[in-house]
Structure 1
Amino acid sequence: MKQLYTTIAGFLCLTLINAQQELPMPVIPAMRELHHEYILSSLRNIARLENPRDSLFPITRDAALNRSINQSIRIRVNNMRAVVESSTELDDNAKYRWLRGINDMLTSFQSAWQARIIPNVMLPVLVKAYGEAMQLQMKKQSIEPIIAANELEIGNILIDNFCLKENTGIAAARDILVLKTCQRDPENILKILSRFPNNKYADSLIIRAAFRNQEELYNYAAAPNALGQKIQSVNHPLVKLIGKLALMKTGRMYFPFLDDLYTGKITLDQITPLVANESSDAYYKLLVKTRIGYADRIHHNDTPMAVSALTGKLRGKAIELYINEINALHDENNLNIRFRKLDSLNAQELYYLAVLGEEEIYTSSFVSGVYPRIFARMKKADGEQLLASVNNDFYKKFIKMSAAYNTLDDFLRKMPPASAEKLMRNFVNDLDRTSNLEDAVDVADSYASIYNKQIRNLILTQVQKNLDQSRQQQRKRGQIIYRLLNVIFQSMDSSNRIDVSAQLGIDPIYFMPDSLLRDEKGRVIIQQFFYGDKDGGVVFNAFLNKFRNNNWRIVQKPNWVEVSSVKGAPITIYANKPLDETLDLDALAQDSLNTYLEENNLKPTVVIHRGHSYYLQQTIDQLAPSAKVILLGSCGGYQKLNSVMSICPAAHIISSKQVGTGIINQGLVDAISERLRQKKDLNWPTLWGSLEARFNGSAKEKFDDYVPPHKNLGAIFIMAYNKAIAGS
């Protein structure tokens, strides 16, 4: 397409320029010969821009056409020189100025080309446009029509030209260039207008921006500057509505309902009582009702305005009003007391707590609280009816969460078998038609959590069907996504004998080489994060007791301990002390240890989180990018894989889908540290098998919810996808 455009443009340029015959050149006075030479030199310099040995500037890929176009450019430039020299209306100073202006036009093209601002094909058009602008300027007429008729790059050169910048139409011309800039870059209309708030076309551009990005317009409309005032003055209903909200102290509370406000489905007066008590159930319920209505439109490719703001506010209120409270009561054994906050919510409102609070909700909050109450609030516990009642909004997320928390079988049993099968097929379909990988990662994660062979086979078959369709339709992204899922899923069956690392071209996932964990001095640096709640001290002491033997030396520091091997390969475990969290002393201890590690160039390759799930984000925020093995030893750590991989994209991650326990975490720490002390690779299937034999009873049940790196399918998929994209 680009080559075709260049060739066509070249023919157009030739047609436009060839119409002009070359004028005879008058005798050039000696005092102006140098100025003419500057022009000729600039033409030669342009010809050599791409190749110093060239005498022709390549406008197209056709050599004969290039010769004709270059000759036409030379004729037009020479004719401008001749017009200047033969003019009886220009005095000597004016002739000097025009010769300088012609050369300025050529050198400006050269500079813009070198900066990759202007393409080759625009040179003949620029020369023609300058000649026309020159004629208008000599007649003291506006060059606005020339600017309007040409591309932005040409206009920018013309209005800055030495001889044209004082033209009577320069202000109007600049307005046109701002308009062209906004048309070229509509995502940045308001950013551009912030420099030119009084532009002639500002009103229409602001209206256009309002329909593209309401959030951005809101921010600009609230600013006490020239553009903010301009936005407030625009007489358009959407702009006026956004402008009004932007000046209200509580405007952000109304903004999520912008689309319904604009279309008259709801009024400000109807929302106001809810805003007055935003911590009430009523405001959250209105957010849910609005989101359900928007979901139906989204499925029909009709994206409501400010839908991201609505979803963000809904997520925030779900966490702030409900999830934080039920999480905080995780030690309360009476479920009626713990989940009393949910009593006023219906099934749909509980559903949104789950899907939008995925990263915050505790395992027990979902399994014992939100999930069972969703169906208890329905006249009939019907999964299909539930999804229909929310217009299938976030249904893939709900399936993923149900799989992660081992409630998927129960959920699918709450609908007819045919409906369950259709739902799971749709779960796998169209993974390449979204702008991100979230749905594909959810499918990968879910497969690892599904133990029902029938559902697994259904998912695998659907993945393979989508792979075939992607190949037939030549959807490259689809081929990558479904090929990776197919290989990963089939590798889960040992009878297939698939080496997933070799097949996908990624680092080994079944083992972590000991050599990759050691620094230049041959040491393995392990960092553990402890927290100062009532459980933190118990777990910390249990950790130290495990290393009070002849193989290890423990050194106490004010804010941390150092546990170093004295036999075998060198390993040092750095663990902050779980000092009083109520005084933030545990955070201070972590900061002190982080500073010490950084100042001494000690880069942890193994990082272990030893706290409850509500501390996990704090650990992730401090995670060393050098980490190659990461143990998330808290409840529901599996839900944080994406956050961890954004920092350590190739790390081997161990996490629990449900309850993390100190006994299992310590067992993992013991097993990992002992193998590294013996300078052995971390062979995950072998290590996992040995640990399975150690645990029994309730500990065995909890251990079964831990996911080893070689079964961390979402993480494996992300690694493989990044590798595939880089390779393509």
Structure 2
Amino acid sequence: MPNIKSLSAIGLCLLFAAASHPAVAADKDKKKKDKKKDEPAVIDTLIAPIPMNRQMFAGKVTQAIRGIDAKDGATDKVVFMEDAVKSKVLTQTFLVDAPLLLIKIENSTASHANKIRYERALADRLNGFRTYTGGDPDVIYYKRLMKNFEELMNAEVAGKALEFVKANPNIYTLENLDLLENNTEAKAFLYEKIGVEQPEMMIKRLNEFSRESYADPVIAAAARVAPSTIMSYAAPTSKYTNVIRRNKDQLVQTIVKIVDQSKKPFKVLPFLNQINDGSKTIAQIDQIAQNDDAYFKSLVELKTSGKAWSEVAIDEEIAYRALKYVRTVNELHEKADAVRFKSVEGFNPSEYYFMLLGGQTNEIYTSSYLGIFKRMMAKMGTTSSYELLEKVRMSHFRTFIRMAAGYNTLSTFLTSMTEDQKTTLMRSFVANLENGGRKELADAVDVADAFGSLNNPELITFLKDEVKSNYERVYKDKSIPADNREKGVIVYGLLGTIFNNASDAGQLQESVSEIPPINFVDYNSLVDKDGKVIQQVFFYGDEDGKISYGSFLTNFRSKNWKIDESNPDWITITSLVGKPTVIYANRPLEEPKDEEAQNKLYAYLDANEIYPTIVIHRGHSYHLDGSLKNLTPKVKIVMLGSCGGFHNLANVLDKAPDANIISTKQVGSYRINEPIIRELNAPILKGENVDWLAMWKNLGTEFSAKSVGDKDLFSDYIPPNRNLGAIFIKAYRKMELSQEG
């Protein structure tokens, strides 16, 4: 075992060595050897011609493969993707391995009927990718799905299907279960096993097995983590009502009772445990639910008691209720504090804590956050901040620390803790990030984002050391499952590299070679086939949207631009000097006509094969989905008037994996957005790269001469080269893909 002295010295080469490292690769090597015992020899030609009565089914496989080849517009035996590694993996999976898989089916000892079943299933998997239109595809998922297909088929041919299913109870086996059409024992095991372990996912697939007896344990398991889904299914109008109501599980029957007896069943649902054990009645909760403050306080009390049946469900309900308080405070941002914060007076520290978390989507204004935070700290009195975290059972504490760091209140929050408590908390902050599935990165992104906001040298050094220590732990500890070790090696190695180079974007770029340039966007990546840079701007029909729209137009009322306002749903702005640039922006019509205008613009752009490479969102966070729903991998710059946290960043990068994201810690202001848009267009009109370092330097100079308020607003904006959460997600995905390859 090598002695790891320093992440910064060794660099990311360790990440790529991870797959071959004994602590990570031993299990993989053993699995490969075991699999080879059952796998038939690879033969790339047919042993015998495909019989006439099976040619139609084999032909559908071939047709699907051809369709995948032509999916990118060229039949050239390449699945083209913007990312060369993704292109290589998909090409191998669908255009090389899939044709060989068809040959393996035909050469196998399976019966004629089974070969038809396998070929039907194979064509279905291939067509699933061929018709996929949801943005950037999950390459690893498709590769593993097709590998699982082959292994499951081989196992069934060898008479070992049940053995394989028991060893691989995962989503890939579930998706390929049509290979085992007549193996009821294997199907029952898989549905029940995954249903109990991942009930939230399986309950959504209830239609596949609702008639089977093993639906009952799945429903019972789902009642404990997704009771709202069970409640929906129990409604008299639901097609599943009889399936739910026949279930003998006591908790399921309590949910049915709430559906039948409560005036507001979904408000009662978080108290399922108390109703189930008889400590509260449905009528009592109905009464509490009539008062918003009393209901919110009761939810927080239930959460901190640890007696909620579903942590996920109560978290969602608390966040929804908390966001209402945040929005009320936001809307009164121009009023005196006595008026503005009246709705949040009289709460305890735990309740304030969850209010702040409720605004973590970055709907919360900086001043709203600070006002609620101040009230939380004042109400704590002599209670330490660590005791508060214990009181709330450390709920989403990484997100809270990320917010506190972002709003420069972390030092204040830590002040009341002892040194041992601080150490324990910050050690926990970066510990166990290897846990969870490969896509569960929210905690790691919180860590990366928080680090980008820190200015305490001692804390920065401490976190660097903790990341290094955790890297060594996951690297060496053979008791950690192999998949989690691989995830941990990437997560901690990447965090270490980011932390050690966060102040030098150029050095960070050299260290994280898997991601596109951080400091700039190549002008050539922004132009379309006609040499134009296409931008799309989204506006919404509320009062803020109309103000933003009017302010936006002031940037273009000059001899350098032409504004075409002839269309009732959108405007088109075209450059008259410099390189050709076209900006499309929907009008901020009254809701829901604003969305209709956006959809009409989408249809126009699609029909004319016009693909934006720059997308600008001008609206509140709750409008964000509308602006991002049609992002494509061609988009290279995304400007979000409000964004933050893992889910928003991941939503962007799921669809536009190479996007450079400009975001802000609070709701965007037109006073900041307009100068940024002007600075963004300046190099584009010259045909030059968009240089984030130069751009932010210019903006810093401009805002240094403005009011203190504008300076503060601008300081909340994060350029792409400093958006450590987005950089982390990009790099993690590329590195994960590299290890698959």
Q: TM-score, normalised by structure 1?
A: 0.70
Aligned positions of 1:667-706 closer than 5 A? 667-696=675-704, 697=706, 698=708, 699-706=710-717
Identify the residue that residue 376 of structure 2 maps to in structure 1: 374
Aligned positions of 1:367-446 closer than 5 A? 367-380=369-382, 382-435=384-437, 436-446=440-450
Secondary structure, in 3 states, of the residue corresponding to 1:700?
A: helix
User: Structure 1 residues 53 and 420 mapped into 2: Cα distance closer, same or farther (>3 Å)?
Assistant: same
Identify the residue that residue 347 of structure 1 maps to in structure 2: 349
Conserved? CA contact 2:385–2:417, under 8 Å: yes
Tell whether 2:487 aligns with 1:471.
no
Aligned positions of 1:582-597 closer than 5 A? 586-587=594-595, 589-597=597-605
Tell whether 2:256 aligns with 1:243.
yes
Identify the residue that residue 20 of structure 2 maps to in structure 1: none
Of 246, 254, 269 in structure 2, the residue corresponding to residue 255 of structure 1 is 269
Conserved? CA contact 2:38–2:158, under 8 Å: no
Shift of 1:663: 3.4
Identify the residue that residue 726 of structure 1 maps to in structure 2: 737
Identify the residue that residue 39 of structure 1 maps to in structure 2: none
Tell whether 2:245 aligns with 1:232.
yes
Shift of 1:652: 0.8
Conserved? CA contact 1:348–1:386, under 8 Å: yes
1-side partners of 2:217 and 2:539: how far apart?
Answer: 57
Cα displacement string for residues 134-173 of structure 1 (whole angstroms, at most 9, x for unaligned residues): xxxxxxxxxxxxxxxxxx9999759xxxxxxxxxxxxxxx
Of 592, 595, 601 in structure 1, the residue corresponding to residue 609 of structure 2 is 601
Cα displacement string for residues 685-718 of structure 1 (whole angstroms, at most 9, x for unaligned residues): 1221122122224233332222111001000000
Of 499, 512, 522 in structure 2, the residue corresponding to residue 489 of structure 1 is 499
Aligned positions of 1:617-696 closer than 5 A? 618-621=626-629, 626-633=634-641, 640-658=648-666, 660-696=668-704
User: Structure 1 residues 366 and 408 mapped into 2: Cα distance closer, same or farther (>3 Å)?
Assistant: farther
Identify the residue that residue 721 of structure 2 maps to in structure 1: 710
Shift of 1:186: 3.6
User: Structure 1 residues 460 and 123 mapped into 2: Cα distance closer, same or farther (>3 Å)?
Assistant: closer
User: Structure 1 residues 335 and 566 mapped into 2: Cα distance closer, same or farther (>3 Å)?
Assistant: same
Secondary structure, in 3 states, of the residue corresponding to 2:512?
A: helix
Aligned positions of 1:539-558 closer than 5 A? 539-558=548-567
Alpha carbon RMSD of aligned pairs, Å?
A: 4.1
2-side partners of 1:309 and 1:638: how far apart?
Answer: 19
Identify the residue that residue 511 of structure 1 maps to in structure 2: 520
User: Structure 1 residues 441 and 48 mapped into 2: Cα distance closer, same or farther (>3 Å)?
Assistant: closer
2-side partners of 1:682 and 1:692: how far apart?
Answer: 16
> Between the two proteins, what is the percent identity of the paired residues?
32
User: Structure 1 residues 216 and 575 mapped into 2: Cα distance closer, same or farther (>3 Å)?
Assistant: closer
Identify the residue that residue 306 of structure 1 maps to in structure 2: 310
1-side partners of 2:294 and 2:271: how far apart?
Answer: 14
Secondary structure, in 3 states, of the residue corresponding to 1:553?
A: strand
User: Structure 1 residues 349 and 644 mapped into 2: Cα distance closer, same or farther (>3 Å)?
Assistant: same
Identify the residue that residue 83 of structure 1 maps to in structure 2: none
1-side partners of 2:655 and 2:449: how far apart?
Answer: 19
Of 521, 534, 541 in structure 1, the residue corresponding to residue 530 of structure 2 is 521
Conserved? CA contact 2:573–2:584, under 8 Å: yes
2-side partners of 1:155 and 1:655: how far apart?
Answer: 48
Shift of 1:361: 3.5
User: Structure 1 residues 214 and 687 mapped into 2: Cα distance closer, same or farther (>3 Å)?
Assistant: closer
Shift of 1:316: 1.9
Conserved? CA contact 1:193–1:199, under 8 Å: no
> Which entry has the higher C-alpha Rg, 1 or 2?
1
Conserved? CA contact 1:612–1:635, under 8 Å: no
User: Structure 1 residues 51 and 462 mapped into 2: Cα distance closer, same or farther (>3 Å)?
Assistant: same
Conserved? CA contact 2:448–2:725, under 8 Å: yes
2-side partners of 1:512 and 1:406: how far apart?
Answer: 30
Aligned positions of 1:168-317 closer than 5 A? 182-183=191-192, 186=195, 214-222=227-235, 228-229=241-242, 231-249=244-262, 250-275=264-289, 277=290, 279-294=291-306, 305-317=309-321
Secondary structure, in 3 states, of the residue corresponding to 1:283?
A: helix
Aligned positions of 1:11-90 closer than 5 A? 53=47
Say which is worse superposed, 210-219 or 714-723, in terms of deviation. 210-219
Say which is worse superposed, 588-597 or 715-724, in terms of deviation. 588-597
Q: What is the one-letter code of the residue matched to 1:309?
A: A
1-side partners of 2:457 and 2:41: how far apart?
Answer: 70
User: Structure 1 residues 52 and 550 mapped into 2: Cα distance closer, same or farther (>3 Å)?
Assistant: closer
Conserved? CA contact 2:635–2:656, under 8 Å: yes
Of 328, 331, 336 in structure 2, the residue corresponding to residue 328 of structure 1 is 331
User: Structure 1 residues 618 and 410 mapped into 2: Cα distance closer, same or farther (>3 Å)?
Assistant: farther
1-side partners of 2:195 and 2:619: how far apart?
Answer: 47
Conserved? CA contact 1:554–1:563, under 8 Å: yes
1-side partners of 2:44 and 2:419: how far apart?
Answer: 67
Gaps of 5+ in 1: 11-45, 55-103, 127-151, 159-173, 298-303
1-side partners of 2:620 and 2:222: how far apart?
Answer: 45
Q: TM-score, normalised by structure 2?
A: 0.69
Of 565, 568, 582 in structure 1, the residue corresponding to residue 578 of structure 2 is 568
Shift of 1:463: 1.3
Of 454, 463, 466 in structure 2, the residue corresponding to residue 459 of structure 1 is 463
2-side partners of 1:439 and 1:644: how far apart?
Answer: 18
Conserved? CA contact 1:210–1:239, under 8 Å: yes
Secondary structure, in 3 states, of the residue corresponding to 1:630?
A: strand
